[in-house]
Copies of this chain bind each other. A is one copy, B any other.
C-alpha cells in the first residue's frame, strides 16, 4: 500500500495555491501564451484569468505580464516574483513527497 499526499497553500482558511494553479502558471511560462496554456489544459480563457487574479490578490503581487500586438501577436510571461514563488512551491512539494516516501515508502497495514 502506498501513502499519497496532496498539498496546497491557505491564507486565513482560504485556498491560495495548489497543484491545479501550479499547472496553469507552468504552462503559461512554457508556452508564453495564456491562450496556448488554456488549450493545453482544457479550461476557458476567462477561467484562467479568474484564477490568476485570485492568486495575485491573495499573494499581493503580480504574476503574469501580458504583451499585446507586435509581430507575433500578444504574449504572456511570468513575473520574476512569480517564477520565484513557483520554485519555492515546487521545492516544498518535492520536500513533502521525499519525506513521505522515505518515512512511509511501503506500508503494510
**Taking CB as reference atom, which chain B residue is nearest A108?**
B88
Which residues of B are found within 8 Å of A22, using beta-carbon distances?
none
Question: A99 at the A/B interface (Cβ < 8 Å)?
Answer: yes
Q: Is the CB–CB distance between A10 and B5 below 8 Å?
A: no
Question: Does the CB pair A11–B4 fall under 8 Å?
Answer: no
With A and B bound together, what is the CA distance between A1 and B9 in angstroms?
Answer: 7
In the complex, identify which listed stretch (A24-32, A39-47, A62-70, A89-97) lies at the interface while the others stay far away.
A89-97
- How far, in angstroms, from A88 to B14 measured CA to CA in the complex? 30
27 pairs from A and B in contact (CB 8 Å cutoff):
A1-B9, A1-B10, A1-B11, A1-B16, A2-B9, A2-B10, A3-B7, A3-B10, A3-B92, A3-B96, A4-B7, A4-B8, A4-B10, A5-B5, A5-B7, A5-B96, A6-B6, A6-B7, A9-B107, A9-B109, A85-B109, A88-B109, A92-B104, A95-B103, A96-B100, A99-B99, A99-B103
